[in-house]
Amino acid sequence: MSALIESLQAKRVVPLVQSDDPKTALKISEALLEGGLDVLEVVLRTDAALDCLEAIAKEFPHAHVGAGTVISADQSREVIRRGATFIVSPGLDPASVKVAQDAGLPILPGISTATELTQAWNLGLRTVKLFPASLVGGPKMLKALSSVFRDVQFMPTGGVSAANLNEYLAVPAVLACGGSWLTPKAAIDAGDFAAITKLAKDAIAIANS
């Protein structure tokens, strides 16, 4: 977990990689890495997502390549087999948490209430994802939760953009923000991977400002 946390603390942004073609996924990932982001979350939202994950993990072994949108223990085992070095979930599934913990992999489950965060805390987790962040209170919710769970760090995702990134990162308990704004479908469809590299660099600049 420490190596992943260090990268998240340094860059503070986690881009989502989504594609139905491994070759395209590799180009997206390369563009993000050129932009300075070395933590990539490959989301399981297409039929080829697992193949994309495996290709990226093999091509870029020095990056932190994780799997997102993982919702079951079986999926957790499969993404680990495919080379994921961390797991992100939209919700809190204790079975998935156990699979990750048994494998020694970081897992950031999604929470949206104090009750879910209490459950995550009692499972031994101290880093979680707030999802969908903008719909469950955004920075105000993060401030409220962190005032009670003082040893927990958050990765808000869902509704985070370049326009509000600073507002989220200004909350001390926020470790990093996840977002799909860094990999817009229009740019990918147009083959404009340079635009993705620029978005990555811009995001790092915002985070450092």
Q: Is 178 helix (H, G, I), strand (E, B) or coil?
A: strand
Please give the Cα distance from 115 to 59 (Å, whole number): 40
The amino acid at 160: V
**H helix intervals, the chain:** 2-11, 22-34, 49-59, 73-81, 94-103, 114-122, 138-148, 165-169, 185-189, 193-208
- The one catalytic residue in 6, 34, 129, 198 is 129
Q: Is 11 a catalytic residue?
A: no
The torsion angle over the Cα atoms of residues 1, 177, 85 and 126, rounded to 10 degrees, is: 30
Rg (CA), the chain: 16
Q: What long-range pairs does 184-188 form, CB within 8 A, spacing at least 24?
A: 188/19, 188/24, 188/28
Is 129 designated active site?
A: yes
Length of the chain: 209
Q: Which two tokens stand for residue 153?
A: 């760090």
Q: Considering the candidates 6, 11, 23, 41, report the single residue annotated as catalytic.
A: 41
Greatest alpha-carbon span in the chain: 46
Distance of CA 190 to the CA centre of its chain: 24
**For residue 61, what are its two tokens?**
């072994």
Catalytic residues: 41, 129
